[in-house]
Amino acid sequence: MKTTFREAMRAAMRDAMQRDERVFLMGEDVGRYGGGFAVSLGLLEEFGPQRVRDTPLSEAGFVGAGIGAALGGMRPIVEVMTVNFSLLALDQIVNNAATLLHMSGGQFNVPLVVRMTTGGGRQLAAQHSHSLEGWLAHIPGLRILAPATLEDARGMLWTALEDPDPVLIFEHGSLYNVAGELADDAGPVDIDRAAVRRAGADVSIITYGGTLPMVLAAADSLSAEGIDAEVIDLRTLRPLDDDAILATVAKTHRAVVVDEGWRSGSLSAEVSARITESAFYELDAPVARVCSEEVPVPYAKHLEEAALPSVARVISAARATVGQVEAVAGHA
């Protein structure tokens, strides 16, 4: 069937609420308004105000309520409108949701799912456009998911709801309108492993979420130049699938990591470090990174485009990585 990323997410929530009466949705404007990005449109009419709950503008309050509901046996889906606003709930997410299992000596699980929009490229300015998932991927006790395809948008939620511990799902805002074909029987998907989205032999381009379409476009352009790029979609940012990362580096011997977060202290830095620690002697060139410029994401379109990763920047990084090897071989 033809669908969009937004509709696939909505179908996932509808399916979860039909499967399990403990599942409910709460957040700002998720009910009558249909969600800040229209993901929950129509669910209030279908499931009623007890299971689709509009909340006050208090992220700390309603994320905390979600934690309490999870502790009480429910399966809450909490929507935080954008990742920037999740900073207002960091105490609840980091000091409570992520730690209660440990601090209770294994007595209390927190089966909570928090959904939020991330990323730039939509001229929403700095307070609505940052990519902070790498920050939260730093925290033990959380699972961090970044769906990039229709199948993952449709399938990750139910698997996350079955996890006894808190799961954060980051939905890149640029993906909501992406349309494509989705199998009529599409359902839950694995959330433990990365995926090879394009096989290749010359360079591995490792990415996730909203930058995946850009990386695939770059790989197609590189192919026309005779550079065969393998594209890895991390899918789960914590825990990282080390086996998949190391396997692709062992295959191509070159890596470019694309991350919309800032370069300093980024998820790309963690991936690069793991490659260096565990696959250094497989590398024929230094690991390259393509990240956002270290500025607040600008509002002006031309400045925002200049600040974020782009197809051209990915192509340039891949060319340089492959070119370094060619240069060394020529010199030898």
Q: Which residues contact 195 (CB under 8 A, 6 or more apart)?
A: 232, 233, 235, 244
Is 102 a known active-site residue? no
Q: Is 326 a catalytic residue?
A: no
So where are the chain's domains?
2-181, 195-331
CATH fold label, 195-331: Rossmann fold (3.40.50)
| Measured CA angle at 83 (ends 241, 6), to 5 deg | 80
CB 175 within 8 A of CB 9: no
Find the angle CA(60)-CA(84)-CA(39) to the nearest 5 degrees: 85
Predicted pLDDT of residue 217: 98
Asked if CATH classification 2.30.30.140 holds for the domain at 2-181, the reply, yes or no, is no
Write down the pLDDT at residue 326.
56
Query: Does this chain's domain 2-181 share its CATH topology with 195-331?
Result: yes
Q: Is 14 helix (H, G, I), strand (E, B) or coil?
A: helix
How much is the pLDDT for 328? 44
Catalytic-role residue among 128, 130, 172, 253? 128
Low-confidence ranges of the chain (pLDDT < 50): 328-329, 331-332
- Return d(Cα 104, Cα 164) in angstroms, integer: 14
What is the DSSP track for 273-288?
A: HHHHHHHGGG-SS--E
Q: Which residue among the candidates 7, 28, 59, 171 is catalytic per the annotation? A: 59
Q: What is the pLDDT of residue 135?
A: 95
What's the confidence (pLDDT) of residue 246?
98
Measure CA of the first residue to CA of the last residue in the chain; give whole Å.
54
pLDDT at 324: 63
